[in-house]
Amino acid sequence: MKIGIPAETRSGETRVAATPETIKKYIAAKHEVVVQSGAGIAASIPDEAYLAVGATIGSAEQALGSELVLKVRAPDSAERALMKSGSVLVGMLNPFDADNTAALAAAGISAFALEAAPRITRAQSLDVLSSQANIAGYKAVMMAANTYGRFMPMLMTAAGTVKAARVLIMGVGVAGLQAIATAKRLGAVIEASDVRPPVKEQVESLGAKFIDVPFITDEEKEIAQGVGGYARPMPADWMRRQAELVHERAKQADIIITTALIPGRKAPILISEETVKAMKPGSVIVDMAVEQGGNCPLSESGKTVTKYGVHIIGEPNLATLVPADASALYARNILDFLKLIINKDAGLEINREDEIVAATLICSGGEVLRK
Ligand code: NAD
């Protein structure tokens, strides 16, 4: 089968959907691979590295006109126009973007949005949200440390002692756990909060303190369990009690990293303007939910702003700032996903009985399958 790897065109996108490592495997499995010239440049993969493993280097038309197109982000209308009806597209296509799904369906493309894969053990190796959130959690701490005007670790020097930075992590999914681990390696003192009860043990196992917001009603307890590993919006009263506790902890914090997301919804507000006002001058907030509206109302997408003396970093796509490793992990996720839709004879075989295939296939044969 002919597999195309186009260059990403979205502003700020640095990743690429296949690396020489994964292309070598596609070629060994008797596929032909065409990579758009320059597709890997931002991820430090020159065309020669693709040529060396047997890919051909071609134009956007050739890559997008392939039977199977591997992308990072959803194609825009110009890219879609270069794709063939009946072709298959795999990428992070945003399954909640109904207009995009409708446009792909109208173009006769069978599209797989990998973010929609269920959180089951078998899907772990193809879980793009996890691979990218892990990188983003790491980078959030790096950016915070860079902006923070003090040391992260406690230091005893001849010129006196420096206190360790206090880091508060809001939302402990994949990104939050990596942020805790990374801040810990840098010597910070860490506290964390989440709605889901199993998180407490994970936080403590990484050497951080869990901020417990007790559940008062059975309804709160039930909602906090989430669905399929994801959080659900918590009742207003629980959110108010959480905000009070967070306000107190934020006053002591030097760095806050917020990662709280509810799939398909606006992110919950966790750090209010009042809380920012109460924070120490020079402290730093990294709002990792900025693309979904933000966990702090003062954060601005794509900018670092200083409000009430607090630096608020609103970088919308942190994984793109670690392009080589983000591409390497993403490309492996795709390689693993393709095992589900390509048979031994290197042909496409879309088995909709498979739970992962069914969940990720957003449109096929002109029909929208996920609304
Ligand atoms: P996410 O990116 O959807 O959200 C980040 C975190 O924010 C979550 O932990 C969520 O509970 C939390 N959150 C939401 N509202 C909040 C609030 N009001 N206050 C505080 N925190 C709030 O999460 P994620 O990284 O996708 O991970 C979700 C879960 O799925 C985790 O338990 C993770 O370990 C699990 N997971 C399972 C698999 C698998 O089994 N294949 C793969 C990946 C992740």
User: DSSP secondary-structure letter at 348?
Assistant: B
For the Cβ of 230 lying below 6 angstroms from any atom of ligand 1, the answer is yes
CA 330 to chain centre: 10
Res 371: pLDDT? 65
For the Cβ of 262 lying below 6 angstroms from any atom of ligand 1, the answer is yes
Mutate to test the pocket of ligand 1, among 92, 121, 130, 191 (most ligand atoms within 8 A of CB): 130
For the Cβ of 137 lying below 6 angstroms from any atom of ligand 1, the answer is no
Contact predicate 350/361, CB 8 Å: yes
Res 225: pLDDT? 87
For the Cβ of 171 lying below 6 angstroms from any atom of ligand 1, the answer is yes
Tokens of residue 355, six digits: 């739970």
Residues in the chain: 371
pLDDT in tens, 158-191: 999 999 999 999 999 999 999 999 999 999 999 9
Mutate to test the pocket of ligand 1, among 124, 170, 210, 230 (most ligand atoms within 8 A of CB): 230
Atom of ligand 1 nearest to the CA of 117: 41
If we measure between CA atoms, which residue out of 92, 137, 131 comes closest to residue 259? 137
Q: How far is the CA of 174 from the centre of ligand 1 (A)?
A: 6
Mutate to test the pocket of ligand 1, among 121, 194, 210, 317 (most ligand atoms within 8 A of CB): 194
For the Cβ of 119 lying below 6 angstroms from any atom of ligand 1, the answer is yes
For the Cβ of 231 lying below 6 angstroms from any atom of ligand 1, the answer is yes
Res 339: pLDDT? 97
User: DSSP secondary-structure letter at 320?
Assistant: G
For the Cβ of 127 lying below 6 angstroms from any atom of ligand 1, the answer is yes
Contact predicate 36/60, CB 8 Å: yes
Atom of ligand 1 nearest to the CA of 172: 9
Res 263: pLDDT? 82
For the Cβ of 1 lying below 6 angstroms from any atom of ligand 1, the answer is no
Atom of ligand 1 nearest to the CA of 261: 4
Alpha carbon nearest to ligand 1 atom 24, residue:
173
Residue keyed to tokens 């196992």 = 205
For the Cβ of 123 lying below 6 angstroms from any atom of ligand 1, the answer is yes
Tokens of residue 298, six digits: 């003062």
Atom of ligand 1 nearest to the CA of 174: 25
Which residue numbers in the chain have pLDDT < 70?
371
pLDDT in tens, 240-260: 999 999 999 999 999 999 999
Residue keyed to tokens 């399929």 = 228
Tokens of residue 273, six digits: 């303007």
Active site residues: 119, 124, 127, 130, 230
* Domains defined along the chain, listed by start: 2-116+323-365 (3.40.50.720), 134-321 (3.40.50.720)
Atom of ligand 1 nearest to the CA of 177: 25
Q: Using CA atoms, how far apart are residues 284 and 91, in angstroms rounded to an integer?
A: 33
Backbone torsion region of residue 318, taken as left when φ is above 0, otherwise alpha when ψ lies between -120 and 50, otherwise beta: alpha
